Amino acid sequence: MENYIHINCDLGEGGKFDAELMPLISACNIACGGHAGNLETMQHSVRLAMKHDTEIGAHPSYPDKENFGRKSLSMTAEDLKLSVEAQVMSLLQIVEAEGGKLTHIKLHGALYNDAAKDENIAKIVLESFRLLEHDFRLYVPANSVIQELAMGEFDCYVEAFADRNYEPDYSLVARSKPDAIITDKELVFEHIHEIYAHQKVRAVNGEILELEADTFCLHSDTPSSVEILKYLHKKFAENHLKIQH
């Protein structure tokens, strides 16, 4: 009997490999104008996802294309709430016009990290989701503030990162550090399999952390992302695992 593993990927961000990645993953998180993307790229990504029967998610962020959403912004609660709502709504309208379904929301970059540890930011983001009045699943980091606040009200998928290393506090190693990103396909597989099979991950200081994940993210801008995913399909099959699709 085969077991299934859920892999998601951030797409619609101007990367070159979206068309190759889409059929290899379970779910896509589409940039909706905050850090990247516009109406044209959103529509293209939605159509590509529907062609391959890939789950469609919104990937809102701080409205900051200059820094690709990777820098925290100082915004009023109202401005941030309305920005996130508008980003998701713009994608939702396209998905519905194309006859598809928006299944989930995953924050991007600095907003993802801030909502993981800052209760005020997490509350603002959740309020923006309530305004949408739709039944979405949320992708949230393990041991995060937003997960704690969302539980019971929203259906949450705890997310682990296939291609990123962890600090002992469950935060991701900063991209400015040399060991932040895992690019070797064999190491990516070992990293995911350890979390999936044993619910554990080794932090960069060697500490073993408990981590039970519902979905795994592979970034589309990670070098050799297509090659990594093809390798994962092969290795998972050898271990009686299949990427959910």
Of the pLDDT bands very low, low, confident and very high (cuts 50, 70, 90), residue 1 is low
CATH superfamily of 3-243: Glycoside hydrolase/deacetylase (3.20.20.370)
| Angle, CA of 205, 210 and 214, to the nearest 5° | 120
* Backbone φ and ψ of 40, nearest 5°: -70, -45
Q: How far apart are alpha carbons 92 and 95 in whole angstroms?
A: 5
Is the Cα dihedral 86, 45, 157, 118 positive or negative?
negative
Give mean pLDDT, residues 163-185: 94
Q: What is the pTM of this model?
A: 0.96
Instruction: Please say if the pLDDT value at position 36 is more than 90.
Output: yes
The pLDDT tens digits for 108-139 are 999 999 999 999 999 999 999 999 988 899 99
Query: Where do the domains of the chain lie?
Result: 3-243
Partners of 11 in the β-ladder? 30
Q: Are 124 and 142 in contact (CB under 8 A)?
A: no
